[in-house]
Amino acid sequence: MNNTKTKFAAAVLAGVALLSGCASNTPQSQQIGYISNDSSTYGTIEAIQVMQARGSSGVGAVTGGLIGGLLGNQVGSGGGRTAATVAGAVGGAVVGNNVENNRNAGKEEYQISVRMDNGETRMVNQDSIYDLRVGNRVRLIDGRLYRY
């Protein structure tokens, strides 16, 4: 009986593997060699604003907290080790957050307002605008604007 269940489970898994290999997640309009005139991806730049990059994503604080906690765990024993681990994690989080904020300080980000061909307005944030200017015709691909 157990051997039958094993064979059945193996057959089901093999069938699922075969069927999933035939499936495609690529929409027809994004296949290679096919260009879509989808009005939701083409538009005209209406405005470009320079903004300061966002401060902290939290990655620095988390990384600093982990490193500080690991280093604090190397100190003492018992209750002292626990206190040192907590203090190291908190101190590391503060230092990591400050390092990330300093790294992002002074970076500019561009907020671009685009009137799409379908009538809607989209705001796109990019780290650079290269040769983009107000009035340019653009295409939105994977969250970035490109002239065409």
pLDDT digits (tens, 9 = 90+) for 4-19: 656 555 655 555 555 5
pTM as predicted: 0.45
Please state, in angstroms and rounded to a whole number, the distance separating the CA atoms of residues 44 and 120: 11
Give the separation between CA 6 and CA 17, rounded to whole angstroms: 16
What are the structural domain ranges in the chain?
36-53+106-148, 59-104
- Residue 148 DSSP SS3: coil
Hey, which CATH number is domain 36-53+106-148, 2.30.30, 2.40.128, 1.10.287, 2.40.50? Answer: 2.40.50
**Cβ distance 98 to 81 under 8 Å?**
no
Span 71-84, pLDDT tens digits? 888 887 888 888 88
116 burial class (0-12, 13-18, 19+ CB within 10 angstroms)?
A: middle
- Residue 99 half-sphere exposure toward CB, CA atoms < 13 A: 13
The residue length of the chain stands at: 148
pLDDT per residue as tens digits for the range 83-133: 888 888 888 888 888 887 777 666 788 999 999 999 999 999 988 888 899
Strand partners, 123: 113
Name which of 136, 131, 138 is nearest 42 in CA terms: 138
Question: CA-to-CA distance for 20 and 132, rounded, in angstroms?
Answer: 42
Where are the strands (E) in 1-148, listed by range? 42-52, 108-116, 121-126, 137-141, 144-147
